[in-house]
Structure 1
Amino acid sequence: MKIPFSWLKEHVALTKSAAEIADDLVRLGHEVEGVEEPRAAVKGVLVGHILSKEAHPDADKLSLLKVDVAGDAPLDIVCGAANMDAGDKVPVATIGTTLPNGLTIKKGAIRGQTSFGMCCSEVELGLADESAGLLILPKDAPVGAQVGEYLGLEEAVFDLSITPNRGDCMNARGIARDLAADYGLKLADIPGFTPQLDASVSVPSISVENEVDCPLYLGRRIEGIKLKESPAWMQAGLIMAGMRPINGIVDVLNYVMLYFGQPMHAFDADKLSGQISVRSADKGEAFAALDGRSLKLHDGDLVVADATGVVALAGVMGSEPTGVTESTINIMLESAFFRPARVSETRRSNAMVSEASMRFERGVDPQMVVSAMQQATRIIVELFGGKASDLSVAGSADSINSAKQVHCSVSRLESRLGVDIPESVDEVLRRMGFNIVRNSDRLEVLVPQFRHDVSIPEDMSEEYARVIGFDAIPEILPALATTAPVKKDRSIHEAVAGGFLQVVTYAFISAEEQRLFVADDGADIELENPISDAMSVMRRSGWPGLLNTAKYNLNRQQSGVALAEQGRIYMRTPKGNSEYNVLTWLMTGEVESDQWFGSARIANFFDLKGAVESWLAGRGLTGRFIADDSIQGLQAGQSAKILIGRNEAGRIGKVDGDIAGQFDIDAPVFVAEINLDLLHDGKQAKFMPLPEFPGVERDLVFLMDRKAFVRNSGSDAILQQVRKSGGKLLIDTRIFDLYEGKGVPEGMISVGVRFALQDPTRTLTQQDSDAASKAIIEGMEQKFGATLRG
């Protein structure tokens, strides 16, 4: 929400600077996003008087102007607008001026003619989104004057982020009330106004069927208005406040809302039929909103209706058919109090939001309903003429959010805040509207009607803290018992986040299942009194339990299974029984189902390997997968041990087909296991700025003995060697091709390696790339006897 500084000054005699007031607003609990300076944004734009206008000799749509800006001599300016002539006064941006759109004016030649400035439209001055030409100033505008001062542009505009509980401050008067109370200044009275009523203008007929959701509704008819644009001062104020001028009547109501906090609506009275009623909507009732949408309303939505149907979604938006247009002559003004919860429900159920709904949802000042109606009537009649009817009133403001009391203990508030609360602070809150009586340690508070957010002692703590200042509250940590920090283990949660289903299986398995993946080395822990033979030993691997669970799910028409379990394994050691915390995975069946765009895909080794690598990367770790055909229970050629640093921390591979068959699983089954107790702390992720300089990629293709490739665990060892040889500039490497066959000697394999280089401080040269390539080629030759393929 944006509030011009001048609006605040109209409510309270402020003497502090905008910057000082911004600091005080923050102390009072109002977040200040920024302070804009519209007048400063057009500094250097002067009132200019066009002395002459001539056609440009080389361009049909350009003119050559001589413009007096009260300088030593008139300025020659090339202009593309067509709505000005000699004698007009226009804004002129002089050389060196930076306009709100970021354009800096410089001396330049346009089609061979030198221009010493630029004549401006409302768009260039930041006063409108579009314009038909230059802004023509009044004839009496003083030549050479600063346009910002002459037009009365705001010296400052506060951009505020009002918290949801402070609906009373979503307007200039509410903010001014807080400032006036804090500074001990008088808040200006709202100008009294009793419109001159015309008995010939009929009073609108109003009924309120839903008095709970609408305890107060006012209506007034104004006839014979001559609608035109709102005055420049109002349009400028609305633009500074972040709203777009629409038409005279709408602008007045938006101005009153931003100024006093009471949303209002105007209907074209000639488009209404019969009595106006405030009621609950019927399910499916039609509503054509002002924003062009056609809605089917929900049962219970609060609406304003006439004899033909819904004309407004109460507190949210009016209807397009009854909206005010340039041809409107007679209007009906609406001012009301709608129950915040009902407006919120109606707005959410219809996915609509408006400036009005944001204020009604937070609660408006009930006493402002009548005042805003009188002020809007006054401004409309003064600007557009017309005759006003008497008010049609349904309900009363007196009972709305009234007589709400809070009883609390001063000592309790002081204990909560950690500071003493002097009685002088009570006086500030009284100026904010609270009726406070302090009797020794007892505090009796009568809450003002416009403060819908205060109802319990904790709310009063916040009010006192706002006045005292949160910065004044001491930073004292409470006394806590010293305990050793416990690091939460999120291992299984991270595995589940990778797409696996968490399961929990028994820690007891059969001796036969134990032998599938663990040798009979006397390290089993046998139960003295097992429940059954199927649960006779403590497990030394989590894989049997996962296989049984996979079998159960596959037998129930699950096309694919991805399981993860975190648990303990147990074994006998020379030092006694030991247990280890492990994380196990299993994947089998479909990983992608049949779709119109592709066939089903069965899980493979690399699906599970990728999942384990992602899990490790999430912990800041990198694993090396070293081929190992000796892992019991896993198929040779598709099994590997997992090294983290120098520790063998896990295993991964394809379950032997015969073992999978014992669990009635026909599809390939892949399992993995990580001993969590062997993992060290990984690298902490830290922010790295995006590189400013480009990187380079190079491909190298090597010929190497196939036996050496297999003996050195294949691709992982090659990538490790490339990283070792590539130097500090290497940021990534991968194998993009493995090939055996035609063109490759028998017993050899072709390995394509792609690597990327980058330096965050400079652009790389050919020499950098050549040096890295040479080092990698030498390293591959030394390690594997590999040669560069020609």
Structure 2
Amino acid sequence: MKIPFSWLKKHVELTKSPAEIADDLVRLGHEVEGVEEPRAAVKGVLVGHILCKEPHPDADKLSLLKVDVGQDAPLAIVCGASNMDAGDKVPVATIGTCLPNGLTIKKGAIRGQTSFGMCCSETELGLADESAGLLILPEDAPVGCEVGEYLGFEEAVIDLSITPNRGDCMNARGIARDLAADGDLKLAEIDDVALAPDGAVSAPSISIDNETDCPLYLGRRIEGVTVQDSPSWMQAGLIMAGMRPVNGIVDVLNYVMLFFGQPMHAFDADKLNGSVSIRSAMKDEPFAALDGRSLKLHAGDLVVSDASDVIALAGIMGSEPSGVTETTTNILLESAFFRPARVSETRRSHAMVSEASMRFERGVDPQMVATAMQQATAMITDLFGGKAGELTVCGSSDNINAGKTVHCSVAKLETRLGVEIPESVDDVLRRMDFGIARSGDKLEVQVPQFRHDISIPEDISEEYARVIGFDAIPEVLPALATTAPARKDTSIHEAVAGGFLQVVTYAFISREEQRLFVDNDGADIELENPISDAMSVMRRSPWPGLLNAAKYNLNRQQAGVALAEQGRTYMRTAKGNSERNVLAWLMTGEVESDAWYGSARSATFFDLKGAVESWLAGRGLTGRFIADDSIQGLQAGQSAKILIGRNEAGRIGRVDGDIAEKFDIDAPVFVADIDLDALHAGKQAKFMALPEFPGVERDLVFLMDRKAFVHGSGNDAILQQVRKAGGKLLTDVSIFDLYEGKGVPEGMISVGVRFTLQDPSRTLTQQDSDATSKAIINAMQKMFSAALRG
């Protein structure tokens, strides 16, 4: 938000320089982006009087001018504009002048004729984005005067970034109030505009059907206006404040809004049908907005309507059909207070933003609603004629954000800030319209109506900090109660240590992506106001986000991708919404590149399975991978659930080809996830001395039904049975061979099991080895009907 320095001076008599005022504003908690100096930017541009105009001898579109700029002799200037003539007064940039667009004026020859300056347009002076010719000045403009001074260019314009909680400061008066209170200066009274309504102009018929969202609405009819451009001083002020002039009526309302903080709107009264009502919109009710968009409104949106159509989205934007144009003669002027939350919800749901909505959703001053109406009415009738009728008032400002009292402990505020709060600071807050009453350590604060952001003691401490100055607060940590140290979650770090790249994806996904891995069982948590359709529900699986990240990387010539993410999944349950802490992996593409020692190799199911097993082993856990073809989104025959003990803790498998294709991935994609909340504490690693006695390694080869091998979850089930049968002497077991083909009956499979036996206290005997082998053979026979091959 830009505020011309002269506007501040109209509210408070400032004696400091703009740079010093900017420093004061920063100390008071306002972000100052910069201080512009428009008058200094056109220093050297003088009022010139064109004495004569002749055609350029070598160019049809150029003219030779003799211009008096108050110097010893007239300047010869070559000009390409055509809208000037002898006798006109125009801005002239003399040699050495640097214009706002960065152009430095130099003496130079143009098609053989020497030019000693340049006549300027509004664009070159920074007054407009485009212009049709030179800026023609009034006849009484004094020759040789600085154009910036003559046109009333601002000494300075302060560019502020107002924080969202300070809606009261999104105008010149709000900023001036803070400066006046801080400097113990008098804040100027607002001129009391006494308007005698014209009895010939009828008062508009207005009703409020939704008093919760609109507790106050003022309307007035003004007849006989002549819509034309606003005066140059107003246009210049609006441009300096960063707004584009539109037409006289709109410019007046924008000027009042920037000056006093109250947004207003004007309707073409002749385009309205019947009485006006402020009500809630019906679902899919049409609305043609001023910005050219056609909207279908949501049920509950607050609107202003006549007897047939919606004429405004309350506090945000008017309708195009009811807008004021150059042909408008009768207007309906609106000034109101709309509930901030309602304006914010409606604006976000329709992705709309306007200067009015930015102020309404932060909260405007209820007492300024009537004042702004009077000020705007007076300016419109003074500048554009017309007769103003009686004011129609619906509701009252008395109870809007009124009567808020915050009780505080001075000692607690001082502890929070780390400094003593002298009573003299109370006077500054009183000048900001706070009611302050101290009684010992007790502090009672009456909050002014325009401060919608004050409700708790912490807000009061912030106000004291602003006045004292944040620089005065010592850089010392306050004494805090000790708490038990939180255990650091290293889950994602351990996954990254396993060769995966950490990613963070959005917790919001589309409904279509949700259905890829989760049934539509009504447990989705849907957002009321999603940013877009692609972010409409809270994720119940981390895999869609990982697939999008994989797609992004593969599209940028990454041959292989290995990603890991730790985040939360969300779902609705009978007991309310629940969250789960999940660690997820994804692998696709190459895991090994071409090299002299071998060829490139793509990721397989077992690469990811090994990574998950290593991660679990690092936590002292052992997982069992049980084949499960029912996992949605994973390919049958290459998917499994992960059991830790008897609890299902995760899933792993290959993504269905059709799903991978939706993400433009043509290579096999493998994913896994672990529910971290479902994990129990693993075995703590203990030191064991190196064994003094050798171990015994034995191989057993079994012949078993292939269906029993697959349905029994293959390797994991066999290894589990061997570990149980091996007893305490078993230190290691693995499957070293799987074979089908010649020599093996059809439907059967040959499985080779290798195990190691060792006792740390003695050398094992043949009897030990034979007993363990027999136990393993019996277990395999019992569990899988497996026979030992000869």
Quickly name the TM-score band, shorter chain normalised: 0.5 to 0.7
Q: 1:414 to 1:145 in 2, by over 3 A?
A: same
Residue 234 of structure 1: SS of its match in structure 2?
A: helix
Which residue in the other structure is 2:16 paired with? Answer: 16
Which residue in the other structure is 1:120 paired with? Answer: 120
Which residue in the other structure is 2:667 paired with? Answer: 601
Once residues 663 and 460 of structure 2 are traced to their aligned partners in structure 1, the CA distance between those partners, rounded to angstroms, is 62
1:593 Cα deviation after fit: 6.1
- Does the 8 Å CA contact 1:590/1:601 hold for their aligned counterparts? no
Which residue in the other structure is 2:310 paired with? Answer: 310
1:545 Cα deviation after fit: 7.0
Which residue in the other structure is 1:491 paired with? Answer: 493
Which residue in the other structure is 2:291 paired with? Answer: 291
Q: 1:323 to 1:556 in 2, by over 3 A?
A: closer
1:658 Cα deviation after fit: 3.7
1:491 Cα deviation after fit: 2.4
Which residue in the other structure is 1:707 paired with? Answer: none
Which residue in the other structure is 2:157 paired with? Answer: 157
Equivalent positions of 1:624-773 (< 5 A) are 658=738
Once residues 539 and 318 of structure 1 are traced to their aligned partners in structure 2, the CA distance between those partners, rounded to angstroms, is 61
Which residue in the other structure is 2:110 paired with? Answer: 110
- Does the 8 Å CA contact 1:48/1:144 hold for their aligned counterparts? yes
1:552 Cα deviation after fit: 3.7
Q: 1:103 to 1:657 in 2, by over 3 A?
A: farther
Once residues 660 and 437 of structure 1 are traced to their aligned partners in structure 2, the CA distance between those partners, rounded to angstroms, is 91
Which residue in the other structure is 2:67 paired with? Answer: 67
Which residue in the other structure is 1:368 paired with? Answer: 368
Which residue in the other structure is 1:439 paired with? Answer: 439
Equivalent positions of 1:497-516 (< 5 A) are 497=503, 498-499=562-563
Which residue in the other structure is 2:690 paired with? Answer: none
- Does the 8 Å CA contact 2:2/2:241 hold for their aligned counterparts? yes
Cα displacement string for residues 722-781 of structure 1 (whole angstroms, at most 9, x for unaligned residues): xxxxxxxxxxxxxxxxxxxxxxxxxxxxxxxxxxxxxxxxxxxxxxxxxxxxxxxxxxxx
Residue 446 of structure 1 aligns with an amino acid whose one-letter code is Q
- Does the 8 Å CA contact 1:105/1:117 hold for their aligned counterparts? yes
Q: Are 1:30 and 2:96 matched, yes or no?
A: no
Q: 1:99 to 1:504 in 2, by over 3 A?
A: closer
Q: Bigger shift: 586-595 or 457-466?
A: 586-595
Which residue in the other structure is 2:267 paired with? Answer: 267
Equivalent positions of 1:121-140 (< 5 A) are 121-140=121-140
Q: 1:555 to 1:7 in 2, by over 3 A?
A: closer
Q: Are 1:89 and 2:89 matched, yes or no?
A: yes
1:208 Cα deviation after fit: 0.6
Once residues 108 and 341 of structure 1 are traced to their aligned partners in structure 2, the CA distance between those partners, rounded to angstroms, is 60
Q: 1:658 to 1:61 in 2, by over 3 A?
A: farther
Q: 1:500 to 1:448 in 2, by over 3 A?
A: closer
1:335 Cα deviation after fit: 0.3
Once residues 211 and 336 of structure 1 are traced to their aligned partners in structure 2, the CA distance between those partners, rounded to angstroms, is 12
Which residue in the other structure is 1:328 paired with? Answer: 328
Which residue in the other structure is 1:548 paired with? Answer: 625
Which residue in the other structure is 1:644 paired with? Answer: none
Once residues 149 and 129 of structure 1 are traced to their aligned partners in structure 2, the CA distance between those partners, rounded to angstroms, is 21
Residue 328 of structure 2: SS of its match in structure 1?
A: coil
Between the two proteins, the alignment pairs up a number of residues equal to 566
Once residues 541 and 446 of structure 1 are traced to their aligned partners in structure 2, the CA distance between those partners, rounded to angstroms, is 59
Which residue in the other structure is 1:476 paired with? Answer: 476
Which residue in the other structure is 1:516 paired with? Answer: none
- Does the 8 Å CA contact 2:641/2:652 hold for their aligned counterparts? yes
Residue 364 of structure 1: SS of its match in structure 2?
A: coil
Once residues 326 and 740 of structure 2 are traced to their aligned partners in structure 1, the CA distance between those partners, rounded to angstroms, is 80
> What stretches of structure 2 of length at least 5 have no aligned partner?
504-561, 567-581, 585-614, 645-650, 673-698, 700-734, 745-790
Cα displacement string for residues 325-351 of structure 1 (whole angstroms, at most 9, x for unaligned residues): 000000010000111111111111221
- Does the 8 Å CA contact 1:249/1:380 hold for their aligned counterparts? yes
Which residue in the other structure is 1:534 paired with? Answer: none
Once residues 338 and 120 of structure 1 are traced to their aligned partners in structure 2, the CA distance between those partners, rounded to angstroms, is 45
Residue 218 of structure 1: SS of its match in structure 2?
A: strand
Which residue in the other structure is 1:626 paired with? Answer: none
Cα displacement string for residues 126-161 of structure 1 (whole angstroms, at most 9, x for unaligned residues): 001111110001111111111111111001111101
Which residue in the other structure is 1:142 paired with? Answer: 142
Which residue in the other structure is 2:213 paired with? Answer: 213
Which residue in the other structure is 1:394 paired with? Answer: 394
Which residue in the other structure is 1:404 paired with? Answer: 404
Residue 559 of structure 1 aligns with an amino acid whose one-letter code is Q
Q: Are 1:559 and 2:632 matched, yes or no?
A: no
1:546 Cα deviation after fit: 7.8
Once residues 26 and 492 of structure 1 are traced to their aligned partners in structure 2, the CA distance between those partners, rounded to angstroms, is 45
Q: 1:114 to 1:285 in 2, by over 3 A?
A: same
Q: 1:105 to 1:413 in 2, by over 3 A?
A: same
1:75 Cα deviation after fit: 1.2
Which residue in the other structure is 2:250 paired with? Answer: 250
Once residues 660 and 420 of structure 1 are traced to their aligned partners in structure 2, the CA distance between those partners, rounded to angstroms, is 85
Identity of aligned residues (%): 71
1:588 Cα deviation after fit: 6.2
- Does the 8 Å CA contact 1:546/1:586 hold for their aligned counterparts? no
Residue 667 of structure 2 aligns with an amino acid whose one-letter code is R
Cα displacement string for residues 254-288 of structure 1 (whole angstroms, at most 9, x for unaligned residues): 00000000000000010011111000111111111
Once residues 280 and 78 of structure 2 are traced to their aligned partners in structure 1, the CA distance between those partners, rounded to angstroms, is 62
Residue 118 of structure 1 aligns with an amino acid whose one-letter code is M
1:406 Cα deviation after fit: 1.0
> What stretches of structure 1 of length at least 5 have no aligned partner?
506-537, 568-584, 609-631, 633-654, 663-790
- Does the 8 Å CA contact 1:593/1:600 hold for their aligned counterparts? no
Q: 1:563 to 1:380 in 2, by over 3 A?
A: farther
1:475 Cα deviation after fit: 1.1
Q: Bigger shift: 379-388 or 339-348?
A: 339-348
1:171 Cα deviation after fit: 0.2
Cα displacement string for residues 273-311 of structure 1 (whole angstroms, at most 9, x for unaligned residues): 111100011111111100001111000100000011110
Q: 1:558 to 1:108 in 2, by over 3 A?
A: same
Once residues 300 and 540 of structure 1 are traced to their aligned partners in structure 2, the CA distance between those partners, rounded to angstroms, is 55
Q: 1:544 to 1:28 in 2, by over 3 A?
A: closer
Once residues 410 and 633 of structure 2 are traced to their aligned partners in structure 1, the CA distance between those partners, rounded to angstroms, is 67
Q: 1:401 to 1:257 in 2, by over 3 A?
A: same
- Does the 8 Å CA contact 2:415/2:478 hold for their aligned counterparts? no
Cα displacement string for residues 610-645 of structure 1 (whole angstroms, at most 9, x for unaligned residues): xxxxxxxxxxxxxxxxxxxxxx9xxxxxxxxxxxxx
1:76 Cα deviation after fit: 1.2
1:493 Cα deviation after fit: 5.5
1:67 Cα deviation after fit: 1.1
Residue 298 of structure 1: SS of its match in structure 2?
A: coil
Q: 1:657 to 1:53 in 2, by over 3 A?
A: farther
- Does the 8 Å CA contact 2:281/2:302 hold for their aligned counterparts? yes
1:602 Cα deviation after fit: 4.0
Once residues 595 and 320 of structure 1 are traced to their aligned partners in structure 2, the CA distance between those partners, rounded to angstroms, is 45
Q: Bigger shift: 241-250 or 76-85?
A: 76-85
Once residues 222 and 96 of structure 1 are traced to their aligned partners in structure 2, the CA distance between those partners, rounded to angstroms, is 51
- Does the 8 Å CA contact 2:633/2:656 hold for their aligned counterparts? no
Q: Bigger shift: 346-355 or 117-126?
A: 346-355
- Does the 8 Å CA contact 2:405/2:445 hold for their aligned counterparts? yes
Residue 548 of structure 1 aligns with an amino acid whose one-letter code is F
Cα displacement string for residues 51-87 of structure 1 (whole angstroms, at most 9, x for unaligned residues): 1111111111111111111223211111111100011
1:484 Cα deviation after fit: 10
Which residue in the other structure is 2:450 paired with? Answer: 450
Once residues 656 and 737 of structure 2 are traced to their aligned partners in structure 1, the CA distance between those partners, rounded to angstroms, is 17
Residue 207 of structure 1: SS of its match in structure 2?
A: strand
Once residues 616 and 446 of structure 2 are traced to their aligned partners in structure 1, the CA distance between those partners, rounded to angstroms, is 69
- Does the 8 Å CA contact 1:500/1:562 hold for their aligned counterparts? no
Once residues 597 and 588 of structure 1 are traced to their aligned partners in structure 2, the CA distance between those partners, rounded to angstroms, is 14
Which residue in the other structure is 1:186 paired with? Answer: 186
Once residues 405 and 30 of structure 2 are traced to their aligned partners in structure 1, the CA distance between those partners, rounded to angstroms, is 25
Query: CA-atom RMSD, angstroms?
Result: 3.5
